[in-house]
Chains A and B, each alone.
Chain A
Amino acid sequence: MDVLAIWLGKLIGTALRRLGRRGNALPGLVVERIFPQFLPSVLGRLEQGVVIVSGTNGKTTTTKMLAAVLAQRYRVLTNDTGSNFVRGAITATCEHADWRGRLAADVAVFELDEAHAVRFVEVVKPQRVLLLNVMRDQLDRFGEIDTTAQLLRTVAAAADTAVVLNADDPRVTAIAAQVSAPVTYFGVAPDLRADFPTDEELYASPANAPVGNRPVLGAELLRMNLGETSDIDLRIAGTTESIALRAGGAHNAQNAAGAAAMALTYGLSAQTVAAGLRAVEPAFGRGQTFTVEDRRLVLHLVKNPAGFRQTLRTLTAYQPAAVVIAINDDYADGRDVSWLWDVQFREPLADVRAGHSWLLTSGTRAADMALRLRYDEIDTDAIETDLRAGVLRAVRHIPIGQTVIVLSTYTAMWALHAILLDIGAPVQAAMEPAPAQDADVAITMRQAAQLRSDGALAEPGDRT
């Protein structure tokens, strides 16, 4: 039965690629409808089981990190294209299984967003769950941060072997009470704490910041020297390891601690964990670099206020000659752009502008972004709604050899990725190489819209 499901998934995937459409959730959609027991049946045979990575920010990079670490010992199945819902997991499984229906893997590491993770654990019980944070994000989907925390609680409660929680996020640590599996933690050293504000701390005064005793940490970020790549010291179990992380920014240093703490629950040594972390390349849209007309372009995803803030803080390390901020308001970007007003642009961008960066806003809501900046007393040099035109304008404005940083919301990032492959070339591999995978799995907005109307992107509580 599983063989049939795999054949079906593979056939659809192949057909889609022949048609030039790469909707990477469609095969999963079809298989899920026809073979509802497929996923638990196949994944249930994995010797090391399934681990789910969830939370508001950092899922993709942390999943990549955890996959890289576990790959030091195991054969890893992961949904590394950022397709973080149930059908994406099925599609990844279909693509990695051979035509005889056998999955050459020992462990599955799945990034799942909060709502889809709840659906996933109804079908597949994970052995392990890693929860990163709860921040306001796309609130027009869930309505409230507390709802998001509740969703994650449901996911963590489904694990039976290990749950790893972020000790520095009170909404995450509160989940420990409802979890039956053994809980371990990751966190950052007290003197780094100020660099990792919780959602409350971003908006409230420091006096309101929660204080409490911290649990013992499986992995702790001790020191970070940030740049495009970061030098970090990570205490992993009893050992301190120095690691040059190729994923930049404070948040990724913290994510590395999360991946490390989860890897420890498999019995991996600190040295093995460190080796895996050193091997990680930036995930899709998280600092990927391209060359375009002899300039360098770095693409960063921005999804919510906390993530935007973190990304802005890494900007000065790049010394960019130009910055492009691309804001779409499609479903996956968040239809409501008022979240931009929860990001403080004035200081981080003033620094960048003081270095004479040229600034352009793009995407559907380019004008809203420029307006936001105006109220933070940052002047936008140009507004260009069309993404391709905007990127080319920024590239051609700066001298050869200089860098453009592009900050982009989700659907704009997918579109930009296709555009950048057309007008330029990636400097590093765009995707983690995986068996029988096309490197190019960019979904255009049109395809995303098609997936949405197919119901592949439906959320719990959606009203049509």
Chain B
Amino acid sequence: MTPLTLVHLYPAEMNIYGDTGNVLVLRRRLQWRGLGVDVVPVAVGDPIPAHADVILGGGGQDAAQGDIGLDFASRGAQLRAMADDGVVMLAICGSYQLLGREFLTKDGVRIAGTAVLDVTTTGSDTRLIGNHLVDTDFGRLAGYENHSGLTELGPGVSPLGKTVIGRGNNGKDGREGAMRDNVFGTYLHGPVLAKSPLFADELLRRAYARRGDGVELEPLDDALAHRAAAVAAGRPR
């Protein structure tokens, strides 16, 4: 069986809050099950391999987003096609915003996104920051948000979940993240998959299902992750 291909977008720039940990979590969970994985870093100008099974993108400094934004947007057609085909994607913060239709900065500049997710983000002067607890179909996700972009959802997506503690997409509608097909965008740092083994395995399950490999993921001993998640869920905002 061919290894799972895990594409890591802009690892040198979109890595600001430990989000590269999501790549490590998936890699290890596959390795511990004896399953092969191939991590492919994609920098500005690099091609995204057509056989990608999972695409991960993290958050970055606002400046980096500006540099990265053009390159990301130029991949819109390919990413939309892949998303429609069921490729699994997890995009955090800045990557989440760039998977959307556009980002309108505080100064009124429109940064085009990839329109993979039917969301738009507006820059603001407020920073939504603190411990972040979100109820989703994949369990209660415990993480940390840190963003000044406010994201609104269009009809083409569902929210990832409801905020229990924290502000979420825009601080107004009580919703966090966005998803459609196998694409997930979220503001949760943590990294989000570390304390959410259910969600991590869900991404892997969907990737294998799309390939029709019939892979059954053995359960792993995730007591430590659950313990850490319980502690995190009890921390003040």
Q: CB within 8 Å of B: which residues of A? A: 136, 139-140, 143-146, 200, 203-205, 208, 329, 335-342, 364-365, 367-368, 370-372, 374-377, 383, 461, 463
Contacts and interface: CB of A to CB of B under 8 A. Distances in A.
B189 A336 contact: yes
7 contacts: A140-B144, A203-B15, A208-B12, A336-B144, A341-B194, A365-B232, A377-B28
B16 interface: yes
A329 B143 CA distance: 13
Given A205-B12, A342-B20, 13 more contacts: A139-B16, A143-B146, A146-B61, A335-B131, A338-B144, A340-B18, A341-B21, A364-B235, A365-B228, A367-B224, A367-B231, A368-B195, A371-B194
Name the residue among B18, B20, B227 with the largest chain A CB count within 10 angstroms: B18
B219 to A, nearest CB: 16
Nearest to B188: A338
Contacts of B21: 338, 341, 375
A338 B129 CA distance: 13
- By Cβ-Cβ distance, the 6 closest A-B pairs, closest first, are A338-B18, A341-B21, A341-B18, A204-B12, A367-B228, A336-B144
B17 interface: yes
Nearest to B189: A338
A139 B17 contact: yes
B110 interface: no
Given A338-B21, A375-B194, A136 B16 contact: yes
Nearest to A338: B18
A337 B21 CA distance: 12
Contacts of B143: 338
Given A144-B61, A341-B21, A341-B24, A336 B231 contact: no
Contacts of A367: 224, 227-228, 231
Contacts, number: 90
B130 interface: yes
B81 interface: no
A143 B64 CA distance: 13
B94 to A, nearest CB: 11
A32 to B, nearest CB: 27
Nearest to A376: B24
Name the residue among A336, A340, A383 with the largest chain B CB count within 10 angstroms: A336
B224 A370 contact: yes
Contacts of B61: 144-146
Nearest to A369: B228
B30 to A, nearest CB: 12
Contacts of B12: 200, 203-205, 208
B189 A374 contact: no
Interface string B137-171: 00000011010100000000000000000000000
A368 B232 contact: yes
A364 B231 contact: yes
Given A146-B63, A365-B231, A139 B146 contact: yes
Contact of A144 (B62, B190, B224, B235): B62
Interface string B21-40: 10011001000000000000
A371 B63 CA distance: 31
B223 to A, nearest CB: 10
B18 A342 contact: yes
A368 B231 CA distance: 8
Contacts of A336: 17, 144, 146, 189
Contact of B235 (A200, A329, A372, A383): A329
A104 B223 CA distance: 59
B204 to A, nearest CB: 15
B191 interface: yes
